[in-house]
Structure formats: structure tokens, C-alpha cells
Structure 1
Amino acid sequence: MILHFILGSCFGSFFCLIAQRIPINESILSPGSHCNHCQTRLAWYELIPLFSILWQNFHCRYCHSKLPISYFLAEVVCGALFSWHFYFYSWNLLLLFWISTAFLLSLMDIFYLLIDSLLLYLMWGILWLSWFLNASFHWKSVILVAFVMCLILFFAPRSLGIGDCLLLICWSGGLSLVSLAQLLFIASLLGVTYFVFYYVRYRKQLVQLPFIPFLTMGLIIVLSNK
């Protein structure tokens, strides 16, 4: 479990970098990891997941500006996801790919309220091809979700983004109607709870809500009960 958590935290750091760079068309390879304030390139010992940022007390060693907590949280959450996966499903690589890409898209939605279309379609193709080959594809779920999403986009286009709708259609191929209903109920409940909490905390309404993180949480809960 500890090794799985460490592995997941390393991926979480990399996913955070991808989620921050790809939507603004920056390379994930160059430049190397650096401070966003002073642009100083980080040494290898400043890139150790979790420990480096704690050791630096969430501040840059060079310009002393405060470092965002997003990387730390991404490393913790992704480490927990990997531990959860290997505990429940051992080496189910397709499922690991599913939750990893869901987590990555969640980060993009949090940072920019959008997702990368190329990554979405790549995930879509791999998942659907695998479900087809394993004879575990759920046509009824896909047809139902596609119909409902079209209605939502036509009658209430501001309630859900196109990316959210496409993601649900993609995931529905691997979920039964019951699992799909559970996912939507959990995600909606979590989203409404956060919306109310935000209003109570800041005394103003949340204009836009990244919904993919709640869909991902719903997906993990549903898969845990399978």
C-alpha cells in the first residue's frame, strides 16, 4: 500500500503539470519544472512528491513566494487513488487508466473549467475499444445518456458543459444503468453540497462550478461498490 501511494503521488505531480500546461498549449517537457514567480528551475531534490514542498514550507527557496497547494493536494489524492485501486482491483490496468484519466481531466476542469479534447477522445477510444473486446459494453447506458445529454444541451445549455456531456457518454459505455444512475445521483449531491457550502462560506453564489471532479468522485464510489 505504501509503495502504491508513493507511485500514485509521483503520477499526481506529473498529472498536475499536464493539467496546467496542455490547456494553454505549453509543452510538458520544456521548460522543466520551475517556480512560476521567479522562473528559477527546480533542483531534483525540490521535486520529491509531498516531502519537498513540506520541507520548503510551501514557499519557493529562491524568491520566497508562496507555492500553490494544488500540487500537494494532487499528489495526496492521486496517491490515495492508486492505493484504493491496488487494494480493491490489484493490477486491473484498464480501470487504473480510467480513474487516472478521470483524475487528470478533473484537474483541468478545476484549473481552467475546460478539458483537452485530444485527451478526452484518446481516453474515449481506449475505453470503448477495451469494453468492446471484453464484451462488457453497455449500449443501453450509452443511448440513454446521449439522449438525455442532447435534451439538456437543447433546453438548458448552461446547466452542463459540452465536455461534461461528452465525458458522461464516454463513461456510460462501461457502466450499467443502475451504476450510471448512482454515479449521477452522487455527483449531483456532492455538487449541490459544495454549491451550498460556498454560498454559506462566502455569502455569494458560485458562478461556475467544475463538475468533472464530482463526477470522478461519484465514479470511484460506484466502482468501489461493484
Structure 2
Amino acid sequence: MEILFLFIIGTIFGSFFGLLVDRIPAGESIIFGRSHCDSCNHILSFRDLIPLFYQLSSASLCRYCKSKIPLMNFILEFSVGLLFCLAWLNYLSLPQFLMSILSVILSAFDYRHHSFPFIIWLIFALSFIILFPSSLIFYSWLVLALLTEIFDFKIGSGDFLWFFTASFSISFFDEMKLLQIACLLGIIYYLMIKKRDEIAFIPFLTIAYLMLLFGHQILIR
């Protein structure tokens, strides 16, 4: 029962994170204003707001206008619920759990809007700096992020900011392995699925990060 309860709590957080992904780029308040369908603007009822259940019961279609509900909402809710359970079962340490949550949120922003919510990253980054010991070498990622804003490196500064926060939960050597895995996944995606000039890279960093974490867990256990 504890696991089920934690999973439900996690999906609620995931639903809120989905609200952030929808409203922040649109400049809407994340506190005021009731949730509504983005297509028909119909105010959603209580049952429409139950995480996972609504999309499962409605075949991912709005009950009012039958427009498609983004699958990303379901993935976000399920992923966060699963992360809550894994952290409770000690498969994730606290910094790994927080980094995983941040990565899922940033992945959703990057995939949906090709944007990087700096304020959300900053909240997590400050939490890492305050709660966990750090090495000065971690801050080299911030320098690279700054240089990216000045010079055109063909890579977003958000990717380097992501690596800065990842440094609090994995070693620099693991980050280099992670980068190789993410690049390989990105190349496969680009060549086989969606050829375009720009692809969202943080989702691949997130997948590689989780692969690395649970790969270590499998070896340890």
C-alpha cells in the first residue's frame, strides 16, 4: 500500500509539472486559473484532473472537443510516480532522485517547446549547492554554459547547465560515458525517426542518465 500511495503522490506531482510545461512558455499563471483544454478552452472537471486515469479512460482525447491530448502528459505523470517508488525502495539516492525529477521536467520542456526553463533549473541547482558537497571542477560546466551564450557552439547552454546539476549525483567519468550514450541515441533518432535541423537533446541525456544509474544498480545487486 505504501508503494501505491507513493506512486499516486508522484503522479500528482507529475501532473503539476505538466501544468508548468504548458503554462510557463505561454506566460500563464501556474497558481491562478483553472485547468482547461488547450484546444477548446473548456474548463476541466475534477475527474478530468485525475492523473493517468483520464487519458486511459478517454483514449487520450478531450471529452469535450475530441482533440488529442499530448502523450507527454501521461509519460510525465507515470515517470514521476515511478521515480517516487524507486527512491522509496532505495534504488535512487536523494541527489539522484532530485536530478531524475529535474531531468524529466527539462526533457518535457525541451521536447515540447525546445526551451530551457532557467528558473526551474535554478531552484534545483541552488538546492544541490546547499544540500550536497561539491567540487570546484563542477563549476566548469557553468563556464561552458556562459561561453555558449557568447559564442555559437551549436549546442544549447541548457545542456551544460544540465551537466552541472548532474555532477552532484554522478562522477565526471560517468558524465563522459553518459554523453557518449546520449549522442549515440540522438544520432539514431535523427537518422531513423525524425530528420530535422534541431532536435531536443536533454531527453537523450535523461535516458542515458537513467540507463547509467540503473546499470550500476544491476551490477551492484
TM over 0.5: yes
Q: Which residue of 2 aligns with 1:193?
A: 188
Which of 136, 139, 149 is 1:139 aligned to? 136
Offset from partner CA, 1:22-68 (integer Å, 9 cap, x none): 12321112221111122111111111111112212222222232322
User: Aligned pair 1:45/2:43, yes or no?
Assistant: no
**Cα-Cα RMSD:** 2.5
Q: Is the 8 A contact 1:23 1:115 kept in 2?
A: no
Q: 1:85 to 1:206 in 2, by over 3 A?
A: farther
- SS in structure 1 opposite 2:132? helix
What is the TM-score with the length of structure 2 in the denominator? 0.83
What is the TM-score with the length of structure 1 in the denominator? 0.82
Q: Is the 8 A contact 1:113 1:210 kept in 2?
A: yes
The alpha carbon displacement at 1:88 in A equals 3.3
In structure 1, how many angstroms separate the alpha carbons of the residues matched to 2:213 and 2:21?
24
The alpha carbon displacement at 1:156 in A equals 5.7
Q: Which residue of 1 aligns with 2:114?
A: 113
Aligned letter for 1:215?
A: L
Runs ≥4 residues deviating over 4 A: 145-156
**Number of residue pairs matched?**
214
User: Aligned pair 1:157/2:147, yes or no?
Assistant: no
Offset from partner CA, 1:66-118 (integer Å, 9 cap, x none): 3222212222222232233323347x544332221221111111111111111
Written as runs of structure 1 = structure 2, the 5 A alignment for 1:1-226 is 1-89=3-91, 92-132=93-133, 137-143=134-140, 145=141, 157-158=153-154, 160-199=155-194, 205-224=195-214, 225=216
Aligned letter for 2:123?
A: L
Q: Is the 8 A contact 1:98 1:127 kept in 2?
A: no
Greater CA deviation, 113-122 or 54-63? Answer: 54-63
Structure 1, unaligned stretches of length 5 or more? 200-204
The alpha carbon displacement at 1:215 in A equals 1.2
In structure 1, how many angstroms separate the alpha carbons of the residues matched to 2:40 and 2:148?
45
Aligned letter for 2:71?
A: I
Q: 1:25 to 1:151 in 2, by over 3 A?
A: closer
- SS in structure 2 opposite 1:88? coil
Structure 2, unaligned stretches of length 5 or more? none
In structure 1, how many angstroms separate the alpha carbons of the residues matched to 2:144 and 2:38?
42
